[in-house]
Amino acid sequence: MKARGTDQDGHLRTFRWRSALVLGLVLTGAALLAARAVELQLVDRHFLMQQGDERALRVVTIAAHRGEILDRNGEPLAISTPVDSVWVNPKVLHDNLDQLPELARALHIDEQRLARRITSNLDREFLYLVRQMPPDQAARIKDLGIPGVYLAREYQRFYPAGEVAGHVVGFTTIDDRGQSGLELSYDQVLNGVDGEKRILQDMYGHYVQDVDTIRPPRPGRDLVTSIDLRIQYLAYRALKAAVQENKARAGSVTVIDCDTGEVLAMVDQPSFNPNDRDQLEPELYRNRAATDIFEPGSSVKPFIIAAALTSGLYRADSVVDTSPGFLKVADKVFEDEHDLGPINLATILAKSSNVGAAKVALSLPPELIWQTLTHLGFGQVTGSDFPGESAGILTNYTHWRPIGIATLSHGYGLSVTPLQLAHAYATIGSYGLDRPVSLVRVDGPVPGVRVLRAGVARSLIGLMQHVVDAGGTGTKAAVVGYQVAGKTGTAWKSFAGGYSTNKYMAVFAGLVPASHPKLATVVVIDEPSAGEYYGGDVAAPVFSSVMTGALRLLDVPPDDLENLPAATVVRVGVPP
């Protein structure tokens, strides 16, 4: 009996010892858990929250909307449309390479090429695969649910007018930064400031929800240009047809509002479509009207006559003897097509007499000619702020010699841009007030700086009207119902060492309506090669076509009622 009691006592002691041990272990574990909880909740709380945020929270960019470019009437020339770009985290995607074939098919990318891009960029956390996809296509990529594949919202530039306004508007890079034209010169105005927001994502990197906005995006401002898209289209269509018909190398048309200095149209050929980035080559997208210089030929003669009228040595009815039809200066002989004999200033312009213009120029102080040309804007940029605009070439009069003055009188020895030439004619059309050229719409009157006496400008406009009258060199520039003042120009193209004798620049520059000029327009056709090459035959018809439409669009009343077709004349008080 004693042995049995001893065994029971032993079992009891063992049980108590084991219970105490288990209880001690439980209490110790509980203490350790409590200590760990305290450590996690209090000591390491900040570190752990930071680590959690780094795994679940992301700061992403909110793309700012680039401002629109509009024509003067609110028609869009450049707008931004939402698109999505597909990007990946190579480190995450590398762990899911079994889904790479599906992704390659969806993106229409070669699987091997895609695999090389992923495996060669494992040190990066961001890699674009495809930029600027339509949202519906990008959504299908997202629906695949492949870890490490994400979408980023961006904006793609679209140009509704296409190549009609391509040279003026320009284009942006794929990152929506201005690259040429107005997109470049007004990039800081158009370009907004991207914002940032914090988002929550799951363990696979998929978007869950927005947490907060760190900085809201600031959209860019809209740019309202001076361009009238209706006139721009008229000029584009007429110029393109003329370049094709005359098999010309290039051409440009520039239209300026004489009252404000605004550029209503500026087109070039060959043109380009800024929506097609595959054809964006410098030779195509440079704006020839603002960047290319040329010797203007006889289109500069009105400015020589302006200097003559300013000098007081000549009046509008002054006569110059051009007999015997040629003039020798130093070792150079200047000729007219016919011996015109004694002619007045109007005939010098109407017949484009080289002898008459040279004699007038040689009789004037060189400084006066230089001052007149300088005041009219030659040898300096127009102030349009168009990127890459050329100042042209006009040497100081102190370097002139008689032979240089004679050649200058009919457009050689100086170089201008079409925009400069149009600006100079616009100054004449505003009766001697120089208004800065603007590619942005101007609201309200624009004060000008007087650079030519109003009486001189009015007389000059009257003289230039004879160029378009019967017997003048610019009859093809006539506009039905309107008086036109202008000047033709035909110049040999220069090259290193001299001038070509079979390559020409054909020019017509003019003002309408001549009674009170509203529009100054310059047409330049580069290297016409279909047979005709004179400015009056090649460039003047383009002027007529564009101005016929533009004057009607702007509702400018006719000033030549005598030559207006009877069916279009409505007399006050007489039933139609």
Torsion of CA 6, 10, 12, 18, to 10 degrees: 180
- Phi/psi for 417 (5° steps) reads -100, 155
Contact criterion met (CB below 8 Å) for 422 and 325: no
Given the residues 80, 252, 271, 298, the one annotated as active site: 298
At residue 400's C-alpha, the angle toward residues 394 and 404, to 5°, is: 85
One-letter identity of residue 12 = L
Which three-class secondary structure state does DSSP give residue 100? helix
CA dist., res. 388 & res. 547, Å (int)? 28
161: phi then psi, degrees, rounded to nearest 5? -80, -10
Has 298 been annotated as catalytic?
Answer: yes
Q: What are phi and psi of 443, to 5 degrees?
A: -105, 125
Are 442 and 448 in contact by the 8 Å Cβ rule? The answer is no
Report d(CA 426, CA 383) in Å as an integer.
Answer: 14
Alpha carbon distances (Å) from 128 to 65, 89, 148: 21, 9, 12
The string of DSSP letters for 389-404 reads: ----B---GGG--HHH
Q: How far is CA 65 from its chain centroid?
A: 19
Question: Quick one: tokens of 91?
Answer: 């480190």
Q: Please report, to the nearest 10 degrees, the dihedral formed by the alpha carbons of residues 467, 473, 474, 476 taken in order.
A: 140
Q: CA triplet 23, 27, 28: central angle to 5 degrees?
A: 115
Pairing verdict, β 195-201 and 149-158: unpaired
Q: Which residues pair with 416 in a beta bridge?
A: 294
Long-range contacts of range 234-239, CB-CB < 8 Å, 24 or more positions apart?
Answer: 234/265, 234/545, 234/546, 234/549, 234/550, 234/553, 235/265, 235/266, 235/267, 235/546, 236/163, 236/164, 236/267, 236/271, 238/542, 238/545, 238/546, 239/267, 239/268, 239/269, 239/523, 239/542
Contact 263, 361 (CB under 8 A): no
Residues with a known catalytic role: 298
